[in-house]
Amino acid sequence: MSSSSNSLNPSTLTPPSKPFATSLTSSLKCFRLETSPMNISDPSRITTIATITGTVTSLAPLQNIEEIKGNLTIRNTNIVDFTINLAISKIDGNLRILENSSLKDLNSFNELVEVNDIYIEDIKGYLKGFDKLEKVNTIDLKRLGMSLDAFQNLKFIEKNLQMDKAGLVLSIFPAFNKVVYIKGSLIMEDYAHGVGLFSELKYVGNNLYIRRTGINEIEGFNKLESIGSLGGGNFEISESMELTVFTGFNNLERVYGHMIIKDNPELPSISGFRNLHKIDKTLSIQNNNALPALTGLERLTSVSGNLGIIGLTVSNNESLIDCSAICNLLANGGVYDEVRIVN
């Protein structure tokens, strides 16, 4: 983070009389306070943007802080174990935990009930906690380690949930099982391992992408009713090289954008889509070499196409011998643009 003209250097601060503030400035030598000074009238609150970086190995001086009036960034530190019990219940800005190359486990934010966005990267071990958090704008998780056990009581995501390069050991993780809606996009990509059941999820307001993953099974999303909105929203499952079990999405009725199922060489079935009725743009099923039938698409009645582009494409699925599931769709003129079926 670039420094501003009114940044405070801890070495120039006159230690205040409050015991906490003295402990903070003496124990965290690389704790920078930017934008506005600490409000020492209430030692349980920091009225500033807080960045912790450098040779810091412990967050003990934050232990009694309850509220941060700004962002909290913990970046490029020497912290190994981030499991200290913090009292922070409110962060008015964003929480960023980034580039901490030694960090193994994270489980410190169990009192947090309010924050805007959460960005977490490079956790080698276990990501737990956030037990009281029910609502957030965005969650962005990258390069996770052993497991994802956090966010088990989260219900509402106002913008996006994104997970990249999440090398999880468990194929199904317990996080996000109480999330009811995601108003933006849900993205799991770049060889992520593991997927949540998303047992209560009913609505994704924009895109849902599961692509370039090492996921073995998708059994959840069984309350999800729609993907996208009148402005669009695409659904894609692609390049998931190890996907061998697919029984999820049983209640999905409508995709407002394009639906793409491609390049999943071990995918044996798409039977989970048995309640899908309408795709507002195009449907593409390509390069799924183990897929023998289109069972699951029997109730699909409308593929609206995209102004002259091929509306329905089924191609290069080497094992496909049964397309009877889409006979009614084709017989009733349910595809409003060109149809291309080639094996």
Average pLDDT over residues 195-201: 90
Average pLDDT over residues 48-63: 84
If you write DSSP's letter for every residue of 196-253 in order, what string do you get? E--TT--EESS-EEEES----EE---TT--EESBTTB--EEEE--TT--EE---TT--
Handedness of CA 44, 50, 53, 55 (dihedral sign): negative
pLDDT at 48 > cutoff 80? no
Please indicate whether residue 30 or residue 208 has the higher confidence score (pLDDT).
208
Lowest mean pLDDT among 13-22, 291-300, 305-314: 13-22
Phi, psi of 218 (to 5 degrees): -125, 105
Lowest mean pLDDT among 114-118, 152-156, 190-194: 190-194
Name the band, by pLDDT with cuts 50, 70 and 90, for residue 265. Answer: very high
pLDDT of residue 168: 65
Name the band, by pLDDT with cuts 50, 70 and 90, for residue 46. Answer: low
Q: What is the pTM of this model?
A: 0.86
Average pLDDT over residues 10-25: 36
- Give yes or no for a contact between 74 and 59, defined as CB atoms under 8 angstroms apart: yes
Report the mean per-residue pLDDT for the chain. Answer: 85
pLDDT at 22 > cutoff 60? no
**Tens digit of each residue's pLDDT (9 = 90 or more) over 208-240:** 999 988 888 898 999 999 999 998 999 999 999
Separate counts of helices (H) and strands (E) for the chain = 2, 33
In one-letter notation, the amino acid at residue 228 is: G
- Rg from Cα positions in the chain: 24
pLDDT at 309 > cutoff 90? no
